[in-house]
Chain A
């Protein structure tokens, strides 16, 4: 392949002012790492820092109070993709996604299958992904009658579940 020459390279671009994540990716790619390696380093830094509580463990509790991880990595040369969805008990989302890309012919693993694969390929776990903050957030939400939530056309419509279809609305 022809070596592309440009003084604009390398480049790191990221959503939001996640400065430490960009610096981590920049350090990697400026030292000669591949684009894939740098993306993994950058997103992994955000997971460790729990950027805004919305990346990595210890944030965004679901209705059951549990944190689950979604992550994706794509290599624009080979068009290979590795991804994990609703992964439990493993904190390293982007590294798990990268393991799916490197060590399987699949694209997306979900749920406990994703956790088992990631752990079998060397990532730490299983572990509790909750934090004191996520537990507090969830218990406050329960006290607030589980508001807000993502249900629609169900009864009860302004309280905690269990829910069932509101046949009048269907």
Chain B
């Protein structure tokens, strides 16, 4: 039932300013009126110029209870690297919901990036001045 269900994107511009965004049409066969994590700030995405940005994808009904992207940015604020922050945010969910399926991608204000996932193999895409075209990174659960 799970597929690539959301785009969540972070951009750092030439000024070093960070923005994030998310767009989705939600879960298939959801109950009318259901809102997932997509439009919830801190859940599907979060950004702070002083720290970095984060995007999330997966089972929004579960993820939105943990604000994983707020957690990722706060962990990086406390000094964690993107990889450590991403893994920590996912583990906070899986401790309570072992069957959870989802992923986060983190980028710090210097442009370092990493992902973490559970229940599926996650891929995220990056382009920066070192790359001629988009590069896809694969993250194993």
Partner-B contacts on A (CB < 8 A) = 1, 3-4, 6-19, 21-23, 25-26, 29, 32-36, 38-40, 42-44, 46-47, 51-52, 54-57, 59-64, 66-77, 79, 81, 83-86, 93-94, 97, 107-108, 110-111, 129, 137-138, 141, 146, 148-151
One digit per residue, 1 when the CB lies within 8 angstroms of any chain A CB and 0 when it does not, for chain B 14-47 equals 1111111111111111111111101111001111
Please state if A151 and B31 are interface contacts (CB–CB under 8 Å).
Answer: yes
Please state if A9 and B8 are interface contacts (CB–CB under 8 Å).
Answer: no
One digit per residue, 1 when the CB lies within 8 angstroms of any chain A CB and 0 when it does not, for chain B 89-100 equals 000000000000
Interchain nearest-CB distance for B2 vs A (Å)? 10
Known: A84-B39, A97-B39. A15 touches B6 (CB 8 A): yes
Known: A9-B14, A14-B9, A16-B7. A83 touches B41 (CB 8 A): yes
A57 to B25, CA, bound (A): 7
- B39: contacting residue among A71, A76, A138, CB under 8 A: A71
List 8 additional contacts besides A72-B39, A150-B34; criterion CB under 8 Å: A4-B15, A6-B110, A12-B9, A12-B126, A16-B123, A42-B11, A54-B3, A148-B1
The binding surface of chain A is classed by DSSP as: mixed
A115 to B4, CA, bound (A): 25
